[in-house]
Amino acid sequence: MLSSDESGLTRASELLSGGGLVAFPTETVYGLGCDARNDLAVAHIFEAKRRPHFNPLIVHLDSKETAQSYVNWTDAAERLAEAFWPGPLTLVLPVREGSGVSSLVTANLPTLAVRVPKHPIAVALLQKFGGPVAAPSANLSGKISPTNAPHVASGLKGRIDAIVEGGACGVGVESTILGLKNVPTLLRPGGIPQEAIEAALGEPIALHQPGDALTAPGQMSSHYAPSAPLRQNVTDIRPGEILLGFGPVLGATLNLSEAGDLGEAAANLFLHLHELDTLATGTIAVSPIPNHGLGRAINDRLARAAKPRP
What's the chain's Rg over C-alpha atoms?
19
- State the DSSP H helix or E strand holding residue 11, giving kind and residue range, or none if neither: helix 6-17
Rounded to whole angstroms, the Cα distance separating 52 from 46 reads 7
Residue 58 binding result from Mg ion, ligand TXA, none, given CB thresholds of 5 to 8 Å by partner type: ligand TXA
The CB-of-62 to Mg ion minimum distance in angstroms stands at 22
Range 208-267, binding ligand TXA (CB under 6 A):
214, 216-218
Residue closer to ligand TXA (CB basis): 27 or 241: 27
For position 137 contacting Mg ion by CB under 5 A, the verdict is yes
Strand order in the sheet with 252-255: 230-231, 284-286, 242-245, 252-255
Per-residue mark of binding to ligand TXA, 59-98 (x: CB under 6 A):
-----------------------------x-x-x------
Rounded to whole angstroms, the Cα distance separating 168 from 147 reads 6
Cβ pair 55, 107 in contact under 8 A: yes
Q: Which residues contact 127 (CB under 8 A, 6 or more apart)?
A: 62
Identify the burial level of 198 via C-beta atoms within 10 angstroms of its C-beta, where 0-12 means exposed, 13-18 middle and 19 or more buried: middle
Residue closer to Mg ion (CB basis): 249 or 303: 303
Q: Cα dist. 172→175, 205, 239 in Å?
A: 9, 24, 30
The CB-of-250 to ligand TXA minimum distance in angstroms stands at 34
Residue 29 binding result from ligand TXA, Mg ion, none, given CB thresholds of 5 to 8 Å by partner type: ligand TXA
- The stretch among 173-181, 227-235, 276-284, 298-306 that binds ligand TXA (CB under 6 A) is 173-181
Residue choice 135, 178, 265, 284 for contact with ligand TXA (CB under 6 A): 135
Cβ pair 93, 111 in contact under 8 A: yes
The β-bridge partners of 34 are 134
The β-bridge partners of 187 are none
Residue closer to ligand TXA (CB basis): 113 or 228: 113
The CB-of-48 to Mg ion minimum distance in angstroms stands at 13
Residue choice 20, 31, 189, 295 for contact with ligand TXA (CB under 6 A): 31
Residue closer to Mg ion (CB basis): 111 or 137: 137
Q: Rule CB under 6 A: which residues touch ligand TXA? A: 26, 28-29, 31, 55-58, 88, 90, 92, 106, 109, 111-113, 115, 135-137, 174-175, 177, 187, 214, 216-218
